Every structure is written in structure tokens, then in C-alpha cells.
Structure 1
Amino acid sequence: MKQQEYEQQNNWQLKLAVIIIIFSIYIYLYLSNSLEITLAKSWVFGLIVGFILQRSRICFTAALRDPFLFGLTKLSRALILSTIIVSIGFAYIQYQQQLNGLPVQGKFVPLGWHIPIGAFVFGLGAAVSGGCASGTLTRLGEGYKLQWVVIVGFIAGSVHGSYDASFWYQLIRSQKTTHLPQLVGWGNALVLQIIFLLFLYLLSYWWEKHKF
């Protein structure tokens, strides 16, 4: 009986997947023909990113939470490795921009009291809700009821944040912005960052072995 119910559930999911794929193709054709091709590309990009997030189970909150609650560091190590790859890519892009006399692209925020306060508030909300923005959207699509409540708070907080963001930026604008390549050079900055991230990777691996 359970086997039959399982097969019926799989058939229902397969039919739903076919409907979603057809609907997604229709949306792409509509956007590319009626509106802008950029919107169509954004639609495809969003679908790909969403699929990767759902299948990989990547959640930035879990990557920082699981080592302390469960002693698991698989997501933490994946996040560290991705940060190493991104660091190399961004360092190359920014270095080429500087060589060509272009302004270095990136959002550089001054170090100060606002970072630990913001991190605490974000971490508290993420721990209570069970995930960060990507994790919330993924679980929302999977049918978790809690995330319907979380997404309402997420939208309300985003609207309020956009309303008074200028006030908070005014408080930190006078502080000095620190860019590591400007202090020690591009090569040294990249090497130092990779060494630090590798240290965190080994530490997280040891932590999981120590916990279990």
C-alpha cells in the first residue's frame, strides 16, 4: 500500500514538474517577445540559481549556525571554498580595473560599531526564522508554513530598511574605509585572505571531527 502511495505521489510530482517547465518556457517567450530580452534572461538566471540553491541546500545561516548547534561544518566548508574562488575572481577583476585607470568596483563599507550590531540583529532573526534570505525563499517554495510568516516580516523589514537607510549611512559615512589591497598590495592581500580562509577551512574540519 505504501509503495502504491509512493508511486502515485511521484506521478503527481512529475506532472506538476512538466506543468511548471511549460509555464516557465511560456514566461520566457512572453518576456523576450513582448517586453525586454533582459527580463527573459533574468528569469532564466533566477530559475537556475533557485534550482542550484534548492538542490545544494546552501544556506548561509546554516553554515554559521550548524557548527555550534550540531557540530556540522559541511556547509561552512562549502561556503569557505566558494569565498576563496570568488576572492580570486574579484581580485583579478578589480586589479585589471585599476591597471586600466578605471574606478575599482565594489561596495566598501567602513569598519565600526555598526557591523557587530547589524550582525547580531541579522543572526538573531535568521536563527529564529530558520534561515537567511536564500534559505527562506527555498523553503517557501518547498511548502514550509513558517516561511510564509517569515517572508511577510522579510518584506516589511526591507521596506522599512529602504526608508531609513540614508539615516544609518549618514552615521558611518564619516568613518574611514579600509581596503586591504591599498594597505599591503594586491598580491599580498590575496595571499593573506586565502591563507586565512584555508585556516578557517581546516579549523571547521577539525571542529566537526572534534564534535563527533
Structure 2
Amino acid sequence: MTSSKIQELKRQRQLKYESQKNQVMYGMAFIMLAGFIYLFFLKNNFMYSTIWVLGLLIGFTLQKSRFCFSASFRDPIMVGSTSILKAIIIASIITTIGFAFIQYTAIGGDTGISYENIPGQIDPVGIHTVIGAILFGVGMVIAGGCASGTLMRIGEGFSLQLVVLLGFIIGTLLGGKSFEFWDKLFISKSPTIYIPEYLGFHSTVVIQVGVLIILYFVAEWYQKKNNMMKM
């Protein structure tokens, strides 16, 4: 095959790739659909319209930042990068301070803490927590992403993640149906641990934020020592 024919084949392949890559029409169609859905929600339920916009913004942020919990634990082991892990640590510091403020304001102090008055969900911790964490961790590695990562990749066109989404749906339905059984067997018999009840809000926030800051610097040190991307 002559060089001219090779160049022609490369040119044809490049044109085919560029035509496939051009997704402006798909983007415009999606924006119009998103706009119609927003107007529909705005007309019928203002709260739904707000949640719809927030969902779009969160999805856009996740896709651009590649924010994924499975990647935060996978990347340090596979390539030595802790960038996403450090982002999650920073997010945990912010939410620790934010939720502590909300809960402290709602309860009104460190004394007389009642679980019924605490905003959010305070659940028992026991063997079911350990089993669930292991199953979730194993499933997350096999699926190649957490829930947010799976939805993000579906939006990017990864059709295999549809199988993972189907697994999410089936698992959620089975979990909801059998929750009463597991609640009687494990959950209801496990203790409910709310650390501010024992240490107070101020001490809890200081300790938790301090531990997270230490973990951040450990992650930074680990990346400088093991990051394969620099090799």
C-alpha cells in the first residue's frame, strides 16, 4: 500500500471520528428537554423544579471533576494518586462543620440530647454496618464506580453501566422488601452511637476535623511518594 493511500485512509478515519465526536445537536436537544422539564416542574411544583436544577448542577460538577468514591480508594492503590481522596476529605471537613452547626442549633446545646430532635438520620451501628460496608466496597470495585460514578458514566454513554444501574434497582427493591427481617435480626439490637452525646459538639468537631486534616497530609505525602503519573 502506497503512502498516499495510507494518508487517505487516515484522513477518512479522522473525518469519521470527528463526525462521531461532534455532539452539538445532542447537547442542544438535551438542553431543550431539560428546559421543558424545568418549566413543567415550575408550573406544578416549585420544589421539584429547584431539585431538578440542583441535580443538573451536581451531575455537571461530578462529570467535570470525575468525583467518585470508588476512584478515591482505587487510585491511591493503582496509580498512587490521592487527588480525589483529598477532595473527599475536604468535603468531609466542610460537611462536619456544617452539619454540626445545624444539629447544634436545632438541639440548642450539649445537654438533654434527644435523637428525635436531631436533624438527619441517626441509625444503630453493628455487625450489619460491617457487612454492608464490605458488600458495598466489593460491589463498587466490580462495578467500576459508586452510585454517582455509575450515573455519570451512563450520561457519558457507557452502556455497560446500565447493567450496574439495574443491579442498584434490584438490590434496592430486595433491601426494602427484606428490611423488616434484617431490622429484627441485627439493626434494632445494635447500639445507637452519637459522639456529641458523649464528648459534646465542640470537642467532637475539633477531634473529627483534626483527624481529617491529618489524613489529608498523609494522603499528600503518599501521593508524592507513590504517584505513578510522574513516571
2:70 to 57, 61, 80: 61
When normalised by structure 2's length, the TM-score is: 0.84
Q: 2:23 aligns with which of 9, 13, 16?
A: 13
Q: Distance in 1 between matches of 2:39 and 2:122?
A: 38
Out of 41, 52, 57, which is 1:43 matched to? Answer: 52
1:125 equivalent to 2:139? Answer yes
TM value normalised by structure 1: 0.91
Q: How many residues align?
A: 210
Indicate which of 33, 39, 47 corresponds to 1:29. 39
Provide the rounded CA distance (Å) in 1 between the counterparts of 2:95 and 2:140: 24
Equivalent residues of 2:126, 2:191 under 8 A apart: no
Does the aligned pair in 2 maintain the 1:64–1:76 contact within 8 Å?
yes
2:217 pairs with 1:202 = yes
Following superposition, the deviation at residue 155 of structure 1 comes to: 0.8
The alpha carbon displacement at 1:109 in A equals 2.3
**Identity, % of aligned pairs?**
40
Q: Which amino acid aligns with 1:189?
A: T
Report the Cα offset of residue 58 of structure 1: 0.5
Q: 5 Å matches for 1:87-126?
A: 87-99=96-108, 103-126=117-140
Q: Distance between the aligned counterparts of 1:89 and 1:29, measured in 2?
A: 32
- In 1, Cα distance between equivalents of 2:28 and 2:157: 18
Amino acid at match of 2:38: Y
What is the identity, as a one-letter code, of the residue corresponding to 2:158?
A: Y
**Equivalent position SS for 2:189:** coil
Within the candidate set 196, 203, 209, 1:181 is matched to 196
1:12-71 CA-to-partner distances (Å, cap 9, x unmatched) read 3122211211111111112222x3222222221211111111111100111122212222
Alpha-carbon deviation of 1:3? 6.3
Shift of 1:6: 6.0
Supply the RMSD in Å over aligned alpha carbons: 1.9
Decide which moves more: 40-49 or 196-205. 40-49
SS at match of 1:161: helix
Matched residue, 1:76: 85
Q: State the structure with bigger RCO (CA 8 A, min sep 6), 1 or 2.
A: 2
Match of 1:138 in 2: 152
What letter corresponds to residue 192 of structure 2 in structure 1?
Answer: T
2: CA distance between counterparts of 1:191 and 1:4? 58
Unaligned runs of 5+ in 2: 1-10
Distance 1:46 1:75 in 2: 21
How far, CA to CA, are the matches of 2:129 and 2:34 in structure 1? 40
Q: Kindly provide the amino acid, as one letter, of the partner of residue 75 in structure 2.
A: D
Unpaired runs of 5+ in structure 1? none
Preserved contact between residue 62 and residue 131 of structure 1 (Cα < 8 Å): yes
Amino acid at match of 1:168: W
Structure 1, 55-64 or 98-107: larger mean CA deviation: 98-107
Moved more, 192-201 or 112-121: 112-121
Q: Is the 8 A contact 1:129 1:146 kept in 2?
A: no
**Range moving further from structure 2, 148-157 or 40-49:** 40-49
Query: What is the CA distance between 1:5 and its match in structure 2?
Result: 5.1
